[in-house]
Amino acid sequence: MTGKLYVVGTPIGNLSDFSPRAAECLRNCDFIAAEDTRVTLKLLNRFDIKKPLISYFEHNRRERGEIILARILGGESCALVTDAGMPAISDPGQDLVDICIASGVNVVSVPGPTAFATAVALSGLPSGRFTFEGFLSVNKQSRAEHLDSIKDEKRTMVFYEAPHKLLRTLKDLYACLGDRRTAIIKELTKIHENVERTTLKKACEEYENIPIKGEFVLVIEGAPQAAPEIYTVESAVAKAREFTDGGMSKNEAAKNAAKLTGIKKSDIYKILTEE
């Protein structure tokens, strides 16, 4: 009988956020696939859990993925964890989930803390719709393409960044997006958690001259919505004239101009026919 893959969320800083269900899952599975076995071992020791570990990370994911899949197909159940947060989100665990799904393995969620959602909740920026952008690539071309793809994004955007890359990322975002409201969130759920609500321009100036430590989530305001065009009767008639110049009848031109502008068709048509 085929085993299962459990995708288990782990704390993003505060070990007290580890859920009873997640602890139970790690106790009951046959083995644990961990991004860094040393980090996961600390978590297991904290909750007195003893299970075999297998490392699974970016540089061994293809080889280890096949080994883990074979064990699951052989009847063992595996818990997939990352160092912090939910596996398979901007994480090599996605590949393991994909090959398990393709092989008919039942993939089960055991949710836990997630940095991007927590950061959005703290940011004070619009949260009805947002995009998770992950890390900007260090490759110059990929980075430029990513930045170009978001310059007109109207939804709130969320990025992860390491301390040694933060200033460059802030400068690149400012150059691409202009000055936007932003929340710079450091060390989520840890002792030194800090939320700085500022703008990209001010952040570039501030972080130029201070030592940067900690792991960061950047939440950035989307592009401003374009103000809707306000039509008058005169501008609606001008639009109708454009339609008639293109060969449309005055009746059809007035009808289409009314749909476009919100001005009454009868008012547009009256002026058109008086000309």
Which pLDDT tens digit goes with each residue over 94-141?
999 999 999 999 999 999 999 999 999 999 999 999 999 999 999 999
- Residues 10-22: pLDDT tens digits? 999 999 999 999 9
**225 domain-assigned:** no
CATH number of the domain encompassing residue 147:
3.30.950.10
Is 226 part of a structural domain of the chain? no
The domain boundary, picked from 64, 89, 113, lies at 113
Residues 76 and 61 in one domain: yes
Phi, psi (degrees; rounded to nearest 5) at 74: -80, 0
The rounded percent of the chain whose pLDDT value lies above 90 is 78
To the nearest whole percent, how much of the chain has pLDDT over 70?
99
Q: Is there a domain that residue 57 lies in?
A: yes
Residue 183 lies in a domain: yes
List 106's β-bridge partners, or say none.
4
Q: What is the pLDDT of residues 162-194, one digit of tens each?
A: 999 999 999 999 999 999 999 999 999 999 999
The closest of 102, 120, 89 to 8, measured between CA atoms, is: 89
Question: Which residues form the domain of 105?
Answer: 4-113
Mean pLDDT of 72-95: 95
In a domain, 160, yes or no: yes
Q: Are residues 162 and 93 in the same domain?
A: no
Going through the chain in order, the beta strands assigned E by DSSP cover: 4-8, 31-34, 53-55, 78-81, 106-110, 130-134, 156-161, 181-186, 194-199, 216-220
Angle in degrees, 0-180, between the axes of helices 265-274 and 233-245, rounded to the nearest 10: 60
Among 69, 97, 113, give the residue marking a domain's end.
113
pLDDT for 36-57, tens place per residue? 999 999 999 999 999 999 999 9
Domain count across the chain = 3
Among 95, 113, 131, give the residue marking a domain's end: 113
Spatial distance between the Cα atoms of 261 and 253, rounded to a whole number of angstroms? 12
pTM across the whole model = 0.78
d(CA 114, CA 257): 49
